[in-house]
Structure 1
Amino acid sequence: MKIYGHAGFIEKRRQQISDAIQRATVQELGLPEGKRYHRFIGLADADFIHPEDRSAAYIVVEIHLMTGRSDKTLRAYLLALQAALEDYAGVAPNDLEVILLETPPARWSIRGVVGDELKLPYEVNR
């Protein structure tokens, strides 16, 4: 997961943002609590050009997922992310963009194993 935002906001709210994302991910996707891969990219104001109606709390979250989850599951996940980020990190819906990027398991490599051969402790096809 990549979280882009204004450097000042990221510095102040990094842990709350991470906790909010993890809460929704565990709740809706069933990933284990300890599986947390969050990369924060704090940008200078001049390097983060966005519409004027966004505030200093504006963030863009890119989440890479293996394909297999239903639209219902992904929709529930997006709504849970929105609610958790607002409740725990103070990110209003107007200041949040989430992009889910899905890739087939055969195009992943994790711990030296191609994704379609990987034994995961959670279910991807939900």
Structure 2
Amino acid sequence: MAQVKVFGLKENLNPIKGRLSEIIHDCVVEAFKYPLDKKFHRFFPMDKEDLCYASDRTEAYTIIEISIFEGRSVDSKKKLIRLLFNNIHNHLQITPQDVEITIVESPKSNWGIRGLPGDELQLNYNVNV
């Protein structure tokens, strides 16, 4: 499972939400061998007064939080991070300086999905990649 939250200034985030979602999903699929049909993204376009960031960032500053079941290897998580930085820069011209990524892992038992605790789900993909 991967739940993605994306935060940014609304005037910058709104025009690119669709493309950014595609880029994020493609990266998750590649790095985690994730199924194409599993896409759970939420966007949080924010007013300038609601998003504070360091002076060495620009108005393109974007935060990506990815919540996942624990079990992915360090290598697969690093691969995801590198893919995101590279593809967001190449396709949307947002520099790595303006992107922050957090991967948050938790046990499957801490999730509730389709009426079941996550550790009781039958998944059609492998988490241990």
Q: TM-score, normalised by structure 1?
A: 0.96
Unaligned runs of 5+ in 1: none
Name the amino acid aligned to 2:74. D
Which residue is 2:92 aligned to?
Answer: 89
2:69 equivalent to 1:28 = no
Name the amino acid aligned to 2:117. V
Unaligned runs of 5+ in 2: none
Displacement of 1:5 in angstroms is 0.1
Matches within 5 A, 1:7-22: 7-22=10-25
Question: Partners in 2 of 1:121 and 1:58 — Cα distance?
Answer: 35
Displacement of 1:44 in angstroms is 0.6
Question: Partners in 2 of 1:100 and 1:45 — Cα distance?
Answer: 25
2:66 equivalent to 1:71 = no
Pick the aligned partner of 2:44 from 41, 46, 69.
Answer: 41
Percentage of identical aligned residues: 30
Displacement of 1:90 in angstroms is 2.1
Which residue is 2:101 aligned to?
Answer: 98
Kindly provide the CA deviation profile for residues 36-89 of structure 1, in whole angstroms up to 9, marking residues without a partner as x. 111100111111110111111110011000000111111111111111111222
- Preserved CA contact (<8 Å) 1:20 1:89: no
Question: Partners in 2 of 1:102 and 1:89 — Cα distance?
Answer: 27
Pick the aligned partner of 2:121 from 99, 118, 121.
Answer: 118
After superposition, the CA RMSD in angstroms is 0.9
Q: TM-score, normalised by structure 2?
A: 0.93
Displacement of 1:117 in angstroms is 1.4
Aligned residues: 126
- Preserved CA contact (<8 Å) 1:23 1:84: no
